[in-house]
Structure 1
Amino acid sequence: MSTVSITDLTRVRATRPEAIREAAASRHRRPLLGADGRMLIIAADHPARGALGAGDDALAMANRTDLLERLCTALDRPGVDGVLGTADVLDDLLLLGALEDKVVIGSMNRGGLAGASFELDDRFTGHRAQDVERLRFDGGKLLLRLDYGDPGSLETMAGAAQAVNDLAERGLMALVEPFLSRRVGGKVRNDLSAEAVTRSIAIAAGLGGTSAYTWLKVPVVDDIQRIGPVMETTTLPTVLLGGEVAADQDATFARWQRALQLPNVHGLVVGRSLLYPPDGDVAAAVDTAAGLLRPAGLVTTGEFDR
């Protein structure tokens, strides 16, 4: 398949489910990092947690054809290294042939449904380490939200440590996304202060019996002046979390650019900010992000060439 057709995808799934396994087995793989040591990953694991909104549209990611078309556009742009997603999304992309020569990361724990009373119970309901290995993917991503006031966070932490161990035993990347979180007015909020992000990095880096295959996926802190000291908390390779769609896209790109100068930051993992940019131009948003990683894409005025 070369174009997105729900009819074709559904027919193949219904009549030849083994086609997904065959596509995974024959997919041409690439090294995790290229020669420049940089990585731009497109994230699309939000729907499986019930988080379908982007910008002002609460159901933006609900249309699977539209989401897949946006993903295919992004993955086809120069400088895009791979994708992070849940099984349903990655299986579709395998059938579409969109994962050739791409880094592929399976999303492992999606149990903390957005807005649910059990949202902080981030159980492992997605890819297992054996699935990542069987499908010849490059690693697994796990969300680690810890609430100091919630005893259940210890279960989340133990599950994350086990996933780190399971992936490391197979020589696969464990991409850990840590937050210190709490409920405010009944809603889960992640603390993006410099102190909180520093603590979350320290906790995540120590998970499991080895950190040899552990990478971190961290947000850019609210106080951008302190991003340097925050990142001094670990020697683990790190990628930046893109976060929510922002109305001021240029300001977001400027924050990423500053954080990308740090020695242990190797790239970006961005989802809705690039797939659903305010102006709707996915290719232009992706090209701008890619330009932040490969300096030829920048201009000296501080503005970003799209």
Structure 2
Amino acid sequence: MGEAAGVDLGWLARVRAEDPGAVAEAAGRRKRRPLLAGSGRLMIVAADHPARGALGVGDRSFAMADRADLLRRLCVALARPGVDGVLASADVVDDLLLLGALDDRLVIGSMNRGGLAGASFELDDRFTGYRAEDLERSGLDAGKLLLRLDYEDPGPGSVRTLESAARAVDAMAARRLPLFVEPFLTRRDPATGALRSDLSRAGVTRSIAVASGLGGTSAYTWLKLPVTEDPDDMARVMETSSLPAVLLGGDIKDGDQDATYERWRAALQLPTVRGLVVGRSLLYPADGDVAGAVDTAVDLLRTTSPDA
């Protein structure tokens, strides 16, 4: 813990304590940009995991609990050419604003954080993060919500989250703010009780169909989707909706970085896929080279774009 190169937690804490209005001032000064620019593709770095209590990376259970180290890695990633922005909870966004790392970068605020990782109430994913009015007031560029649905959920968690997600779609559309919806069908592991995402063709297809129909309009809705278990199924899965989509990077599958990149490359060539949103696999690569991992992902986007 403590201070990582270029990031002083003591300074951040001092500013927050003595001048809390500095966050809003930094947000007001931030140089903004359109959602899509240049190639029309998106490369977003995700750092919304800690607010859900998901702090582990590989065999390091609390890797993301080192805030100075996380911020340093984010600053490295955001400075790389071809990176469009960040997806994070308010505390991380506020730190990055104070550090001046978000000029000319998109900022996507994470909205529902109530379904804490590993909790018995994980499927009751209430909106405890950004609200639509917060995103508008802070001049942020978009929002993101996670929608996990368990058809066998005995409690009201899944349906409550589903209804809340629909109202968030409406609230964001009323403000003409894009909203990235990340849907999963899930089920409880009977042995451990842990939630498992259904990444089969059928599971991802159903999740896309449900997410696409939320709210009174889908005009401002994007999808944030995983690559299916069998990457050959991805083309058929993506026929389910006309909404623009970005791929959820997730962790490197089976530790095989090259294979994961090839899965991304194939999916990025599908007509509705417009980019990547990747977190831990870029911020905490096995070789420690954040800039190199980010540059590889950016190159995937460049070489799979229509203009490549």
TM-score of the pair, normalised by structure 2: 0.94
Distance 1:214 1:296 in 2: 23
Equivalent pair of 2:222/2:244 in contact (CA under 8 Å): yes
Identical aligned residues as a percent? 66
Distance 1:46 1:22 in 2: 26
Aligned amino acid, residue 289 of structure 2: D
Q: Return the offset for 1:245.
A: 3.9
Matched, 1:203 2:206: no
Equivalent pair of 2:110/2:145 in contact (CA under 8 Å): yes
SS at match of 1:91: helix
Q: Return the offset for 1:35.
A: 2.1
Written as runs of structure 1 = structure 2, the 5 A alignment for 1:101-250 is: 101-150=104-153, 151-152=155-156, 153-184=158-189, 185=191, 186-246=193-253, 247-250=255-258
Which consecutive residues of structure 1, in runs of 5 or more, have no partner in the other structure?
Answer: 298-306
Aligned amino acid, residue 278 of structure 2: V
Aligned amino acid, residue 216 of structure 2: G
Equivalent pair of 2:252/2:260 in contact (CA under 8 Å): no
Give the CA RMSD over aligned residues. 1.3
* Structure 1 counterpart of 2:283, from 275, 284, 296: 275
SS at match of 2:277: strand
Equivalent pair of 2:146/2:181 in contact (CA under 8 Å): yes
Distance 1:266 1:296 in 2: 10
* Structure 2 counterpart of 1:285, from 258, 283, 293: 293
TM-score of the pair, normalised by structure 1: 0.95
Which consecutive residues of structure 2, in runs of 5 or more, have no partner in the other structure?
Answer: none
Distance 1:3 1:105 in 2: 24
Q: Return the offset for 1:56.
A: 1.2
Per-residue Cα deviation, 1:25-59 (whole angstroms, up to 9, x for no partner) = 11100010112110000000000000000111111
Aligned amino acid, residue 158 of structure 1: E
* Structure 1 counterpart of 2:17, from 14, 17, 36: 14
Structure 1 stretches (4+) deviating beyond 2 angstroms? none
Aligned counterpart, 2:42: 39
Aligned amino acid, residue 42 of structure 2: M
* Structure 1 counterpart of 2:303, from 288, 295, 304: 295
Aligned counterpart, 1:255: 263
Q: Return the offset for 1:120.
A: 1.1
Distance 1:178 1:289 in 2: 23
Aligned amino acid, residue 212 of structure 1: A
